[in-house]
A and B are shown apart, each in its own frame.
Chain A
Amino acid sequence: MTGERILTRNFHRADAHTLAAYRETGGYTAWEKAQTMEPTAITEEVKKSNLRGLGGAGFPTGMKWSFIPKNHAGPVYLVINADEAEPGTFKDRYLLEREPHAVIEGMLIAARAIRSSVGFVYIRGEYVEPWRRFSAAVREASEAGYLGGGFDVVVHRGAGAYICGEETGLISSLEGRKGWPKLKPPFPAIKGAFGAPTIVNNVETICHLPHIINRGAGWFASLGTKTQGGTRMYSVSGRVKRPGVYEASVALTLRQLIYDLAGGVTGNGRLKAVVPGGSSAAILRADEIDVTLDVDGLKNAGTMAGSAGVIVMDETVSIPEALMVVARFYAHESCGQCTPCRECTGWIYKITERIVEGRGRKEDLDTVLDVARRGVGTTICAFYDGAVGPYISYIEKFRDEFEALVTK
């Protein structure tokens, strides 16, 4: 049912992060092969594989690469988004610590496709151990001659700001500014880091590339659904018996993930709700989990695959309290650039807090829904639209629970 593990196949090895172990299991053979391929052929292969961005947005990776202007004279940059900070998500941490050479090999392949000579890996500042592990792998790869002969990797540490995971916010931060997102267009592929064409790819996305090159786009596409190829790494946490990272096809269902892989629900054992794609994803009720976990499957179910951070809640969990915690997060992490986001995230947090503390008013629920809906689409980046996912869905799907609190 869950099929072959690809990205996580060496996770059981204590030395998986070393160059020796990576080479032993076929590491850098895809890079050898890619060097015999034309850059456009690499991009075509990735397009045919149906690989989609696994950081959150789910955009087709090959198509993103093809937006780099043809025959661009100046530098082109590859930026790897390792600013993992979406609540419920922890897969990139595993890849940085256990498969850093897969990230580097994927970068070499992507850089050849987009004709980039330098890649920046932006790692969240709190990830000190992953940063050390990855930096050590870069040194190994340089000494072994994989880096330094036309492509270099610069490892860059963030300093604690969720918005720096948004690709234009990340670019601002990389440039030595506060992490304010930029207006699009121009998209980064046209004008990104340091004013040059830039591709921003997620860690997990980039780790799939060696396997696509070695085993072919057809093989990768066949692992998934019609519109999304491959496996992905699901971060499962909350009220499950075996929380952790699970790699499986994107055609897996949410029910299979929770019950077959993560061992089922803890607490009273009765499932109440699931957040399927990191805290920005709309919540699903227990009767809505027979849905495949691919980008389009979850979109059709009214939520999103996002970062594949799955948070499970059993019936002992208070949904209003969960919303208060999530609302506190968005209020804290709004970068403050756009008025609707800056003001509404704080306002909604205050309302949810007073509801949970038993000081709620009857009109509060409709106020949250009204405020949330009015802000959609009015801001520079997708942060506020992401925050609205939980605001609206928690109240709409569990309204009784909120009403029971405000009528006290």
Chain B
Amino acid sequence: MSLTTPVAFTPEQLAEVRRLQALYPDRRAALLPVLHMAQDAFGYISLEVEEYVAGLFDLTPAHVHEVVTFYTMFFQRPKGRHVVAVCHNLSCHLAGAPRILAHLKERLGLEVGQTTDDGRVTLLSVECLCACEHAPMMQVDDRYQFDLTPARVDRILEELR
């Protein structure tokens, strides 16, 4: 998503915002769902996006900023086209998550939190994704990837464009 993308929802998206707000006794409750929408639309939640969303709710930008920074799934800086998030909690750790993470760092030439130069992949390590029966595992965008080995990680990476 380029930086010149104007921060404004389409009329259809605005209608969805109003629909979401009407689902709750207090429209503020639609803030998380609308922030998910905003991230999908604008790539990440910049200060400008926070201000725009605040306007849709008649909230202060400070309130929206407080919410955005509290949750791990909202990105405050541009992210890659794909997000690879390796679970590093206990069951995955016991099953070799550190080895999987080291392999990813080497293959991508990244540290955790960084994005490849071509904007293809952002690498994260995260707390429990609750798929411990398939440890080690990771989340790639919307999908959980189970029972990882370095070879399987390589195949998954190859499919990411």
Enumerate chain A interface residues (CB-CB to B < 8 A): 75, 84-90, 92-93, 124-129, 154, 156-162, 173-179, 194, 196, 235-239, 243-245, 275, 279, 309, 311, 313, 317, 321-322, 325-326, 328-329, 332-333, 335
Q: Is B135 an interface residue (CB 8 A)?
A: yes
Q: Are B36 and A176 in contact (CB under 8 A)?
A: no
Q: Are A178 and B135 in contact (CB under 8 A)?
A: no
Q: Are A311 and B132 in contact (CB under 8 A)?
A: yes
Across the interface, name the chain B residue whose C-beta is closest to A125. B73
B90 contacts which chain A residues (CB < 8 A)? 87-88, 238, 275, 279, 311, 322, 325-326, 329
CA distance A178 to B32 in the complex (A): 10
Q: In residues 1-52 of chain B, which contact A (Cβ within 8 Å)? A: 23-26, 28-33, 35-36
Across the interface, name the chain B residue whose C-beta is closest to A242. B133
Q: Are B29 and A174 in contact (CB under 8 A)?
A: yes
The interface centre, meaning the residue of A93, A154, A160, A332 with most chain B CB atoms within 10 A of its CB, is: A160
CA distance A209 to B32 in the complex (A): 30
Q: How far is the CB of B126 from chain A (nearest CB, A)?
A: 8
From B64-72, B99-107, B108-116, B149-157, the one touching the partner chain is B64-72
Q: Are B74 and A159 in contact (CB under 8 A)?
A: yes
Q: Are A75 and B25 in contact (CB under 8 A)?
A: yes
Partner of B73 from the list A160, A177, A238 (CB cut-off 8 Å) is A160
B36 contacts which chain A residues (CB < 8 A)? 125, 157, 159
Also in contact, A85 and B130, with CB within 8 A (given A129-B144, A157-B36, A313-B94): yes
B127 contacts which chain A residues (CB < 8 A)? 85, 87, 162, 329, 332-333
Q: Are A236 and B133 in contact (CB under 8 A)?
A: yes
Q: Are A243 and B133 in contact (CB under 8 A)?
A: yes
A322 contacts which chain B residues (CB < 8 A)? 90, 93-94
Q: How far is the CB of A74 from chain B (nearest CB, A)?
A: 10
A-B Cβ contacts below 8 A, count: 147
A328 contacts which chain B residues (CB < 8 A)? 88
CA distance A279 to B36 in the complex (A): 29
Partner of A329 from the list B25, B73, B89, B143 (CB cut-off 8 Å) is B89
Q: How far is the CB of B61 from chain A (nearest CB, A)?
A: 14
Across the interface, name the chain A residue whose C-beta is closest to B73. A160
Q: How far is the CB of A10 from chain B (nearest CB, A)?
A: 19
Q: Are A156 and B33 in contact (CB under 8 A)?
A: yes
CA distance A201 to B23 in the complex (A): 20
Across the interface, name the chain A residue whose C-beta is closest to B31. A176
Partner of A175 from the list B23, B29, B72 (CB cut-off 8 Å) is B29
B135 contacts which chain A residues (CB < 8 A)? 237, 243
Across the interface, name the chain B residue whose C-beta is closest to A244. B133
Q: Are A176 and B26 in contact (CB under 8 A)?
A: yes
Partner of B71 from the list A128, A159, A329, A332 (CB cut-off 8 Å) is A159
Q: How far is the CB of A346 from chain B (nearest CB, A)?
A: 15
Q: Are B25 and A194 in contact (CB under 8 A)?
A: yes
Q: How far is the CB of A185 from chain B (nearest CB, A)?
A: 22
Across the interface, name the chain B residue whose C-beta is closest to A279. B90
B66 contacts which chain A residues (CB < 8 A)? 177-178
In addition to A160-B74, A275-B90, A326-B90, 6 A-B residue pairs with Cβ atoms within 8 Å of each other are A75-B25, A159-B72, A161-B70, A176-B26, A243-B133, A335-B70
Q: Is B159 an interface residue (CB 8 A)?
A: no
B31 contacts which chain A residues (CB < 8 A)? 176-177
A236 contacts which chain B residues (CB < 8 A)? 133
B131 contacts which chain A residues (CB < 8 A)? 90, 93
Identify 25 residue pairs between A and B in the complex whose beta-carbon atoms are under 8 Å apart, listed by A's number.
A85-B127, A87-B127, A88-B132, A90-B133, A127-B130, A129-B143, A154-B24, A159-B35, A159-B74, A160-B71, A160-B72, A160-B73, A176-B32, A176-B57, A177-B63, A236-B133, A238-B91, A239-B94, A243-B135, A244-B133, A311-B91, A317-B94, A325-B90, A325-B93, A335-B70
The 6 closest A-B pairs by CB, nearest first: A237-B132, A178-B70, A159-B71, A176-B31, A160-B72, A160-B73
Q: Are B25 and A84 in contact (CB under 8 A)?
A: no
CA distance A313 to B133 in the complex (A): 14
CA distance A37 to B3 in the complex (A): 59
Across the interface, name the chain A residue whose C-beta is closest to B132. A237
Q: Is B76 an interface residue (CB 8 A)?
A: no
A88 contacts which chain B residues (CB < 8 A)? 90-91, 128, 132
Q: Are A175 and B71 in contact (CB under 8 A)?
A: no
Q: How far is the CB of B101 from chain A (nearest CB, A)?
A: 13
Q: How far is the CB of A279 from chain B (nearest CB, A)?
A: 6
Q: Are A176 and B74 in contact (CB under 8 A)?
A: no
Also in contact, A90 and B70, with CB within 8 A (given A317-B94, A326-B90): no
A173 contacts which chain B residues (CB < 8 A)? 32
Q: Are B30 and A176 in contact (CB under 8 A)?
A: yes
CA distance A397 to B13 in the complex (A): 56
Q: How far is the CB of B40 from chain A (nearest CB, A)?
A: 12
Q: Are A154 and B23 in contact (CB under 8 A)?
A: yes
Q: Is B142 an interface residue (CB 8 A)?
A: yes
